[in-house]
Structure 1
Amino acid sequence: MATHERCETEGPGPHLISSKQIAIVVASDKPPRASYLVASYLATSTRCKVYFVNPVVTEILGQHTCASLADIPEPLDIVDAFRKHDGLPGVLAEAVAAGLTVLMDRCVKIEHARFHGAPHLAGFDTGVISAKRQVLA
């Protein structure tokens, strides 16, 4: 049985530095979608090789997509999943089969920008990094 470590104590910084290959599961070719925004950011702002996994779309950002994580030709360091909660167990099973051992419930784009000290350059100019929606009364 695979073991999973959570990035709660030390944060994701060490994992982001050492990562070389990232897969974005159910990446979209539609610019308004969050997965497209994250894909374009990671492809242009990191030194990582970014793989796009989508069994329906054949090309994203000029790069061919893979139908599944098993189709990626090299070991992965990060799998960033854009799935509804009921689709995550399948992604997790594929990630474990690919040898991944880290489970991180954080946005890779936000953490990368925060770790590199420039979240405002990534489209966040609020000074607050949070996944919670602001309540406007």
Structure 2
Amino acid sequence: MRSEFALERYRYLLQQIQAVNENAHRFLALYQTLATALVTAALALFVGYRKWDLTADTARGGVIGLLTLVTVVAAFTGTLIVVGALAWLDYRHEECDITDEIVGPGFRKRPRPGNFLRWYETYVVLFILVSVLTMWVLAAVFLLPAMR
């Protein structure tokens, strides 16, 4: 009875680990979609604010507001990815506990947070950070000064 329960728990953990891995890709797709839409809106505002009879101050405020929304989406996405990585660590530790008890000690090596450079989540979060910083720099250097 105990081994059947452990087997079911092990299957559940493997499903959860798979779900956490898939979620990181979903979160990245969500960020890419929303960031693209918001930056497109900012560029449309930059190109069309005169035609729409908006003042430069209003247009600049709109661009800054849209970039702020991109930043909020990026922070939310990054938080979800980091929380997912922490959940993955927890599930893997529980998986190791089960295999240590049922199969034998050391059957699976425990994950080490020090290996974060090998995790794709690290590079997804770095991509998000670099892309947001790049958007702000490009807006500050090219878009906002050109809106006079």
After TM superposition, the score normalised by the length of structure 1 is: 0.22
Larger radius of gyration: 2
Higher-RCO chain (CA-CA 8 Å, sequence separation at least 6):
2
